[in-house]
Amino acid sequence: MAYRNILVAVDLSPDSQILVHKAVSLAERDGAKIYFIHVDVNYADIYSSLVEEDLGPEQERIEKENRQLVQSLIDAAGYPISATLYGKGDFIQALENAVVKYDIDLIVCGHYQDFWNTLKSAARQLIHRMHIDMLIVPLSKDNDEYFEED
């Protein structure tokens, strides 16, 4: 029943470290592999007002920053991180690809991140169809908007 391949959805907030520690705690007993995934779901929203030719350098800068933040999570994990995946936009598709590629059997995610909003509609695909356990961890960001009713 132990997990073999754990995927941590890191959103690069300071709280991401909590998720990483949870994953390491679950992984270390049986030597499970840990993978990170970071999907920049907000990018399109934030920059939709910019003209297209401006996106290139700005996007590059953000991606570079994100990779540095992920690297600092990897450095602080105290456990080998087998691979890190980066995606943009379609979080669910990126997760599904990762699940298939690395034979993931547990996804660890924070409860406030954008994942939560997609959870309702995508739950069937992720949990049910793909048969993946999900560990949802409460984080400190007090943001009620993620819990508004439809």
List contacts with its own copies (CB under 8 A). Answer: 1-2, 21-22, 24-26, 29, 111-112, 116, 120-121, 123-124, 127-128, 131-138, 144, 147, 149-150
Which CB atom, from 49 or from 121, has the smaller least distance to its own copies?
121
What's the token pair of residue 127? 């949990």
Q: In whole angstroms, how close is the CB of 82 to its own copies at the nearest point?
A: 20
Between 17 and 66, CB nearer to its own copies: 17
- CB nearer its own copies, residue 28 or residue 90: 28
- Per DSSP, the three-state class of 137 is strand
To the nearest 10°, report the CA torsion of 87, 92, 93, 96: 100
- Tell me if 21 sits within 8 A of 79, measured CB to CB: no
Give the C-alpha distances (Å, rounded to integers) separating 7 from 26, 97, 113: 12, 12, 15
Q: How far is the CB of 1 from its own copies (least distance, A)?
A: 4
CB of 121 to its own copies, least distance (A): 6
CB of 43 closer than 8 Å to CB of 91: no
Beta carbon nearer to its own copies, 45 or 144: 144
CB of 89 to its own copies, least distance (A): 21
Phi, psi values for residue 91, rounded to 5°: -60, -45
